[in-house]
Structure 1
């Protein structure tokens, strides 16, 4: 029997930590608008961090083969995240944003758990829809910085990096065994459920 890789165990541990963590830790660090502010912003909340990694993992574990299709979901998420952030900077959003962010973590965890595949269009619509709510949350938090372009650009770069890290992790999970994938997905889904319960 093959055991989960070290990278998978680290991902599972991050998911477990998020069950007791605030959705947006460290947002007090982002007191002014800059590229670095945006670069660090997705790392300030484990809900965002897990969702972005999970998009990459799901893209890898559900793919039939390696190729450009692995990046369709991540690219849709990153671009719709930017759109959501720009809308959030303008004050759009509301009470539904945080529950939808938490729900996206739960849903993405379940997709990883089941390795449920979708065609390119459906996966892009799904993760793109989730990304809008993540972007709205980021935009609302960045609104006080006074500078829209630089933080959003930095956030885009980190989002792509997290997606690519997720794809690499997902590919290593494919090479391990199905239980490594299921354990990873279960950890993320449990984190999303915990976040939803905190908001209830």
Structure 2
């Protein structure tokens, strides 16, 4: 467990440190970084999906602990570039909503997907999240700093999900797994509410 925690923290540091270093290069850059950082925090769908990516990675274990979150951040950056460039991606809101449902269900059912499949699924959904961030960038924001902001916030949310999975896991192998799956079920149900417009 300690080795897993160290691996997760090291991965988060590798993702965050360069971004934080480049984020504070002037007033426009700071504004862009702040706006980008706030964007994933401002929507329930983004929050749930990104935290659940961390829980899913924890549940898979092994290399997935760093590979799944890093894949999400990388493909989200690509989606953000598409959004900033004005390139359309169809069904963005639906894709974001379905990401909450699918990721929550994967955790709820304790899906032990092969690493490549897990990375492909989270990467696919990350494009929708990134595109939404990119299209909502403030006009006066620096694109680079804005992107670094939402990437940093996302990495922190993934880390929170990993930490939550580890914390729940401390209840013991049997009960911990049950609680993790219960959390996934709650996320999936909330996602259904978002997709159907009930929430």
Structure 1 residue 62 corresponds to structure 2 residue 57: no
Tell me, yes or no, if the aligned pair for 1:93 and 1:137 is still in contact at 8 Å. no
SS of equivalent to 1:144: coil
Match of 2:156 among 161, 164, 169: 161
What is the match of residue 38 of structure 1? 36
Tell me, yes or no, if the aligned pair for 1:50 and 1:188 is still in contact at 8 Å. yes
What is the match of residue 193 of structure 2? 194
Match of 2:126 among 127, 131, 155: 131
Within 1, Cα distance between the matches of 2:187 and 2:195?
A: 13
Within 1, Cα distance between the matches of 2:185 and 2:64?
A: 24
Tell me the TM-score normalized by structure 1: 0.77
Q: 1:36 to 1:146 in 2, by over 3 A?
A: closer
Question: How far is the alpha carbon of 1:70 from its aligned partner?
Answer: 0.8
SS of equivalent to 1:115: coil
Question: How far is the alpha carbon of 1:94 from its aligned partner?
Answer: 4.8
Tell me the TM-score normalized by structure 2: 0.77
Paired residue total: 165
Q: Which runs of 5+ in 2 are unaligned?
A: 1-29
Question: How far is the alpha carbon of 1:173 from its aligned partner?
Answer: 2.3
SS of equivalent to 2:147: helix
Structure 1 residue 115 corresponds to structure 2 residue 110: yes
What is the match of residue 11 of structure 1? none
Structure 1 residue 174 corresponds to structure 2 residue 169: yes
